[in-house]
């Protein structure tokens, strides 16, 4: 029996060494799985423990046998601990080092105590057997709980470790049964232990290697399925072409969606067969670069779809070996829409860059992000001088703060603001700008930036001022003519009639004197009427800065009725709240010029003013019942009519004058209200 035990111990040692080498080889082939490393380490310790166990049997020395026994116990416990760690790592779990190695250390200390302090072979036997049983049962539990597609191997290993655990529990309790009823001997138990360990280790190694390979197969299949899913769900076109004949081997769904060809229509055919290349020279260049470098990237290629339409693709390609055969794997990203947007942006950029109006874009805080060349030309500032600054660098004291408050209150609520500023250039010169400032919205309607489109209207303002000065001169000249033609003539007539009256009274011709006196009275009344009418025409507006269109016109019409004897009325339809306040002054003076012409030249007795104002439209009409005029004949109206047309042009509207002889005159003005 001793020889049998020695033989079993040596065979066990040899088998454990072979098992360690097998696990080591498997570990080197599958470095991605850390479990194999722990299992290899555990198998190595098992081999070392088996060698020590064999030496302990061969050397018949009780003292050395005790030391070797404690050492072997520590080796076997550590081996099972490492196998347990490997099993947890195989399931992607982590072990608790404190509890695990604390348990092993405690078992070794108890075994040492029963060996060197209190020499109790039964206590040492029970401690070692039960410690191994606990670790074996923990490993069995882990395999039972392992969830895998193929459960056979995990159930097999769980049953194997469970059987081994039960065996060591029986082994630990066997000496107590021997004492009670007899039947087992210590020698027989050692032989059974060696045989059980031999069978267990062989089956364990066999099962661990098969389980690892089974998991690798499952993981490879899942990886392949995941890769196929990723490739097929990608919107990009992916395909594999055999390098030798240029024929398609595989394509993804992105290829079929972009090209229009089905998979069945593609596999086994070439790009030339499918006529995919719009420009053959691009295909030749692609093949040349691929042959020289082995890969192509970021090449913009025009492809032809099945229906004949063209797409722009960004091509990536590389030569790879599949099963030892060179293939071309290529990925094409459809950039047709991106190129279209780029072209549109390029056109828009050219328009903005070459625009004769100033363009400025700011962030939400008003910090300048972009200005076009016209802005720099008008203001004198360079690009680097305005980036990161705010439009305040152009502000002058001539523009009231209320204008800027109104501007920000308008654009921050998503509306467009329109107005004008008097700003200051870099050299200090003041200039006028007409500006439209709008919020820029993203796809969700959120304000991201502000854009200002501005036009230098300095020359226009100066021309208007010059026109007003000329109008004032013309008005003075007209007043002088009126004084000469009307009041002066009336007074001159009264002088002549007065001289005649004196002569008539000297002749005591009372009837004739009475007639002359009536003529003098009529001339005086006419002179008074003419004087009142001229005073009305030169009367300024009732307000200095802002015109209240309806109230100011009503006040002026009362004056007309009271002093000029003309019936006048004003009819309003709609509300003027939609009409910009800056328009009121120009509308007021257009109406006044029309009134002056109606009373002075048309000799009108009735005048009607109609104002219709709606959210998007304003119409103004001045109609009289005067003598009218022939529109086909040239007529001299001084600067009055020209002033009316200039003011209408400033408002962006259209002024028309319709007149018929003895049918009166109708002046009409219409304009669209924007934003």
Return the pLDDT at 610: 92
Confidence class for position 27, pLDDT limits 50, 70, 90: confident
Lowest mean pLDDT among 156-165, 524-533, 664-673: 524-533
Return the pLDDT at 533: 58
Burial class (CB in 10 A: 0-12, 13-18, 19+), 489: middle
Q: 189 near 183, Cβ under 8 Å? A: no
From residue 228, give the alpha-carbon distance in Å to each of 159, 162, 215, 320: 37, 40, 20, 18
Most confident of 184-198, 211-225, 426-440: 426-440
User: Which has more confidence, 330 or 537?
Assistant: 330
For 131-149, what is the mean pLDDT?
A: 82
| H helices, E strands: number in the chain | 21, 15
Q: 570 near 553, Cβ under 8 Å? A: yes
Q: Which residue has the tokens 């193929």?
A: 150
User: Which has more confidence, 635 or 669?
Assistant: 669
For 92-110, what is the mean pLDDT?
A: 85
Lowest mean pLDDT among 221-235, 481-495, 505-519: 481-495
For 177-202, what is the mean pLDDT?
A: 60
Return the pLDDT at 318: 93
Q: What's the distance, Cα to Cα, between the start and end of the chain in Å?
A: 110
Closest CA to 30 of 176, 258, 233, 216: 216
Residue 299 has pLDDT above 50, yes or no: yes
The chain-wide mean pLDDT, for the chain, equals: 80
pTM for the structure as a whole: 0.45
Residue 581 has pLDDT above 50, yes or no: yes
Return the pLDDT at 248: 92
Encode pLDDT of 381-440 as tens digits. 988 899 889 998 888 887 788 888 888 999 999 899 988 888 999 998 998 888 899 999
Confidence class for position 1, pLDDT limits 50, 70, 90: very low
Instruction: Give CA angle at 612 (670, 663), nearest 5°.
Output: 70
For 528-537, what is the mean pLDDT?
A: 58
Return the pLDDT at 177: 67
Confidence class for position 675, pLDDT limits 50, 70, 90: low
Return the pLDDT at 319: 92
Lowest mean pLDDT among 3-17, 119-133, 586-600, 656-670: 3-17
Burial class (CB in 10 A: 0-12, 13-18, 19+), 607: buried
User: Which has more confidence, 581 or 561?
Assistant: 581
Residue 240's DSSP bridge partners are 250, 329
Radius of gyration of the chain (CA): 54
Q: 311 near 334, Cβ under 8 Å? A: yes
Lowest mean pLDDT among 303-312, 468-477, 535-544: 535-544
For 219-241, what is the mean pLDDT?
A: 79
Q: How far apart are CA 560 and CA 546, in angstroms?
A: 22
Return the pLDDT at 451: 92
Closest CA to 610 of 574, 567, 645: 574
Residue 639 has pLDDT above 60, yes or no: no
Return the pLDDT at 2: 44
Confidence class for position 632, pLDDT limits 50, 70, 90: low
Residue 449's DSSP bridge partners are 440
H or E segment at 207? Answer: helix 186-233
Return the pLDDT at 315: 93
Residue 16 has pLDDT above 50, yes or no: yes
Q: At what angle do helices 34-58 and 62-90 cross, to 10 degrees?
A: 170
Q: 19 near 35, Cβ under 8 Å? A: no
Return the pLDDT at 22: 78
Q: 533 near 564, Cβ under 8 Å? A: yes
Residue 543 has pLDDT above 70, yes or no: no
* Largest pairwise CA distance in the chain: 189
Lowest mean pLDDT among 305-319, 447-461, 574-588: 574-588
Q: Which residue has the tokens 């040239």?
A: 634
Closest CA to 497 of 522, 530, 467, 534: 522
Confidence class for position 488, pLDDT limits 50, 70, 90: low
């Amino acid at each position: 029996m001793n020889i049998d035990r020695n033989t079993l111990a040596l065979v066990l040692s040899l088998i454990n060494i072979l098992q360690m080498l097998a696990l080591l080889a498997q570990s080197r082939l599958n470095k991605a799985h850390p479990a194999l490393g722990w299992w290899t380490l555990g198998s190595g310790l098992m081999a070392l423990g088996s060698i020590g166990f064999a030496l302990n049997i061969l050397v018949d020395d009780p003292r050395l046998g005790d030391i070797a026994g404690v050492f072997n116990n520590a080796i076997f416990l550590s081996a099972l601990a490492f196998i347990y760690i490997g099993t947890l790592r195989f399931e992607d779990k982590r072990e608790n080092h404190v509890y695990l190695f604390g348990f092993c250390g405690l078992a070794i200390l108890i075994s040492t105590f029963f060996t060197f302090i209190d020499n109790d072979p039964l206590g040492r036997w029970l401690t070692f057997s039960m410690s191994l049983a606990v670790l074996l049962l923990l490993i069995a539990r882990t395999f039972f709980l392992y969830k895998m597609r193929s459960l056979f191997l995990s159930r097999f290993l769980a049953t194997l470790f469970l059987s081994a655990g039960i065996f060591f529990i029986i082994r630990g309790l066997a000496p107590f049964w021997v004492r009670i009823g007899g039947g087992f001997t210590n020698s027989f138990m050692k032989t059974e232990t060696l045989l059980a360990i031999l069978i267990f280790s062989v089956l364990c190694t066999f099962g661990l290697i098969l389980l690892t390979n089974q998991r690798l197969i499952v993981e490879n299949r899942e990886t392949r399925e995941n890769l196929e899913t990723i490739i097929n769900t990608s919107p990009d076109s992916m395909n594999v072409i055999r390098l030798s004949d240029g024929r398609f081997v595989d394509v993804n769904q992105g290829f079929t969606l972009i090209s229009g060809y089905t998979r069945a229509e593609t596999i086994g055919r070439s790009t030339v067969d499918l006529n995919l290349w719009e420009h053959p020279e691009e295909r030749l260049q692609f093949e040349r670069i691929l042959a020289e470098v082995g890969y192509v990237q970021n090449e913009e290629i025009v492809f032809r779809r099945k229906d004949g339409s063209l797409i722009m693709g960004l091509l990536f390609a590389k030569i790879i070996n599949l099963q030892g055969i060179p293939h071309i794997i290529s990925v094409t990203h459809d950039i047709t829409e991106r190129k279209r947007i780029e072209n549109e942006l390029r056109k828009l950029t050219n328009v903005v860059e070459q625009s004769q109006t100033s363009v400025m874009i700011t962030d939400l805080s008003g910090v300048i992000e972009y200005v076009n060349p016209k802005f720099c030309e008008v203001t004198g500032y360079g690009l680097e001088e305005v980036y990161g600054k705010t439009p305040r660098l152009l502000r002058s004291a001539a523009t009231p703060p209320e204008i800027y408050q109104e501007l920000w209150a308008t654009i921050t609520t998503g509306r467009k603001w329109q107005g004008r500023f008097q700003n200051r250039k870099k050299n200090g010169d003041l200039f006028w700008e007409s500006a439209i400032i709008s919020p820029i919205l993203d796809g969700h309607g959120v304000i991201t930036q502000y854009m200002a489109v501005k036009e230098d209207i300095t020359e226009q303002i100066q021309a208007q001022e010059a026109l007003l000065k000329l109008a004032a001169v013309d008005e003075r000249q007209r007043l002088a003519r009126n004084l000469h033609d009307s009041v002066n003539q009336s007074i001159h007539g009264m002088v002549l009639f007065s001289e005649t009256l004196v002569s008539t009274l000297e002749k005591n011709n009372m009837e004739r004197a009475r007639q002359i006196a009536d003529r003098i009275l009529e001339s005086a009344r006419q002179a008074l009427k003419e004087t009142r009418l001229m005073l009305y025409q030169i009367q300024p507006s009732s307000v200095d800065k802002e015109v209240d269109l309806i109230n100011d016109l009503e006040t002026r019409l009362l004056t007309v009725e009271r002093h000029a004897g003309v019936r006048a009325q004003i009819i309003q339809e709609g509300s003027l709240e939609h009409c910009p306040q800056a328009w009121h002054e120009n509308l007021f003076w257009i109406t006044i010029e029309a009134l002056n012409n109606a009373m002075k030249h048309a000799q009108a007795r009735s005048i009607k003013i109609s104002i219709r104002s709606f959210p998007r439209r304003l119409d103004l009409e001045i109609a009289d019942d005067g003598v009218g005029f022939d529109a086909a004949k040239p007529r001299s109206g001084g600067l009055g009519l020209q002033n009316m047309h200039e003011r209408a042009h400033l408002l962006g509207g259209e002024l028309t004058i319709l007149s018929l002889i003895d049918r009166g005159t109708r002046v009409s003005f219409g304009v669209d209200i924007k934003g």
